[in-house]
Structures are given as structure tokens and as C-alpha cells.
Chains A and B, each alone.
Chain A
């Protein structure tokens, strides 16, 4: 099973709202990622978690707050977003170093619209 699931599929939120995106994988992967993808662009890395600890933050604004409650779950908490944050948010997971090849498996994404 190489499935990564994400909820919700679509989200519309106002600039004063607080919402969360959720991601889950059951492949035993110990690295999990959040990406942002704008239309007609490749994904841009936001955060990396390794063994449930934040290992990479690509200078993402604090209105995005990641959380990794356990090895299967990854959340992205959203607060006071701007319209330019509207995008497709992708979650991915992979093996950790030393465990073989490191290809990342992506979820279907959450289409976020900030009004």
C-alpha cells in the first residue's frame, strides 16, 4: 500500500479563520513533508518531519504551523492566512536515510482558497 490520504479535499476559509489540514500514511515511513503548489508550478517544500521532529522549515510564515502527533499523522494548522496563500497543499512521506531509496509518495492534496 503506497497511499497517503489528506483531508479535506477542498477548503475555503476567511482571513480570520483557523483551520487544519490533515495527512495520514500507513507505510511505516518516518519522514513526512508539507508542500505548497501554485498553479502551473512545481511543488515548493514547506516543512519536513523526521521521526516526528521538525527537521526542515523553509522559512515559512508563522501563520502556518505544522504538527506531527505520531509517526502516521501530520497536521498543518492555518491561522490568519492571506489570499496569496490560496494553493494546493500536498503532503508526502518517505523512508528515512539508511532504509533504501527515498522516493516520496504524495497525497491527493487539499485545495485551499482564502477569501
Chain B
């Protein structure tokens, strides 16, 4: 079945540091890939998405590239802010089961001033 593996947290960074959160996936067919962010006490917000190989999703300074050859969708940001502190979920929606989203376990990011 489908699965998403993302790096264990928590990740603690200083403000303005470079962020990478690794995500790899296993899926049949050609899944769509997503990053969601969840701030404390809130629901999930779609951060970015990519629907085919080599697509780059980007939003609010975050980027991730759909790499089919390595089955990866790593999240990056060049300079993090304290306000980026949250839990980040990598997720996929497979082409055959579009209504079911498979989530990774989440990575908590803490940015300190």
C-alpha cells in the first residue's frame, strides 16, 4: 500500500537558518504530493503541492520538488522565521484512490530567535 516516511523531529533551528525536512514515499501509479502545516491549536493548512514528476511546488518561501527517480518530496526554505514553528506533514494522494490521503507522521519544527 501507499506510505510516506518523513524525518523524525523535533527539528530545532535558529532564525534565518536553512531548513530541509526529508520526505520519501511509496505509491502505485503517479501520486500527487503535498505538504501541510499545522500551527499549534489549529487545523491543517495546505502549504504546497505537486502533481507530476519534476513539478516544483512553492509558497511563502517554502519549496519542494517532485522527484520520481528518488521517490522524494523534500521541503526546503532558505531562511526560517520564528513564525514558521509548527508541525509539517508530507502527504500523498494516489491516482487510484484519490479520496484517501496518506500522511507522514509529521515533523515538528521549532525556530528560536
Cα(A98)–Cα(B59), bound, Å: 25
Give the interface residue-count category, chain B. 20 to 34
Residue on A nearest B108 in the bound complex, by CB: A40
User: What 1/0 flags go to B71-113 for Cβ under 8 Å of A?
Assistant: 0000000000000000001000100001111011110000000
Count, A-B residue pairs, CB within 8 A: 55
Cα(A67)–Cα(B32), bound, Å: 28
Cα(A108)–Cα(B38), bound, Å: 10
Minimum CB–CB distance from B22 to chain A (whole Å) comes to 16
Tell yes or no: A34 within 8 A of B by CB. Answer: no
Q: A106-B44, A109-B42 are in contact. Are A50 and B99 (CB under 8 A)?
A: yes
- Considering only residues 71-115 of chain A, those with a C-beta below 8 Å from chain B are 88, 90, 92, 94, 97, 101-109, 111
Minimum CB–CB distance from B111 to chain A (whole Å) comes to 19
Cα(A102)–Cα(B92), bound, Å: 10
Minimum CB–CB distance from B48 to chain A (whole Å) comes to 10
- Considering only residues 27-80 of chain A, those with a C-beta below 8 Å from chain B are 31, 33, 40-43, 45, 48, 50, 55-56
Q: Count residues of A near B (Cβ-Cβ below 8 Å).
A: 29
Say whether A109 contacts B103, CB under 8 Å.
no
Say whether B51 contacts A42, CB under 8 Å.
no
- Considering only residues 23-52 of chain B, those with a C-beta below 8 Å from chain A are 32, 34, 36, 41-46, 49, 51
